[in-house]
Amino acid sequence: MIERAGLRHTYFRTPTGTTMTPKAALTTSPTRIRPRGWAAGQIISAPRDVNRLFSALLVGRPPPAAQLKQMRTTVPAPAPGNGVRYGLGLTSTPLTCGGVAWGHGGDFPGYHASDAVTTDGRAATIAVTELSGSPARPQHLTTDIDTALRQ
């Protein structure tokens, strides 16, 4: 999927400190980072690649209609609040300008990522490398994504 979407700044770090990229052999990192988060924090990417992935998935080269429909079939998600709903690997968030943004952010100790794309192709990703532990921060990032997508 990384290669098919053209993600040039995305890679998967293995627990042994090696890096797997689409076009290169395994390489060993001198830092010997030992990620343990699997999909929650082991795939390392740049915000522009995250935008590219979700834009391709939802606008440019979506999966077959039946699969996309399953992904977009949502249920309420009370924890994030503000009308956020969860589907199959996607969240939907209502925008203050009307419409819906689709994405899939996440947290890992010390990190938070929020991303979203609209059906007309506007995309935004915010990555934060320090979390205060305050529940206000994720809501603030949701507001920032909303602001970015209104531009």
Alpha carbon distance 55, 3 (integer Å) = 15
Same domain, 37 and 11: yes
Adjacent-strand bridge partners of 10:
45
Same domain, 54 and 78: yes
Give the C-alpha distances (Å, rounded to integers) separating 113 from 28, 98, 151. 26, 23, 20
Tell me what pLDDT residue 32 has.
52
Alpha carbon distance 86, 70 (integer Å) = 11
For 88-134, write each residue's pLDDT tens digit.
989 999 999 888 999 988 777 777 788 899 988 899 998 887 756 66
Alpha carbon distance 11, 45 (integer Å) = 7
Same domain, 24 and 88: no
Tell me what pLDDT residue 118 has.
92
Same domain, 13 and 70: no
**Max CA separation in the chain (angstroms):** 48
For 26-83, write each residue's pLDDT tens digit.
555 555 555 556 555 667 788 899 888 888 888 877 788 898 899 999 999 877 667 8
Tell me what pLDDT residue 123 has.
92
The range of the structural domain enclosing residue 39 comes to: 1-45
Same domain, 133 and 64: yes
Tell me what pLDDT residue 29 has.
54
Same domain, 50 and 40: no
Tell me what pLDDT residue 59 has.
84
Tell me what pLDDT residue 25 has.
54
Same domain, 40 and 88: no
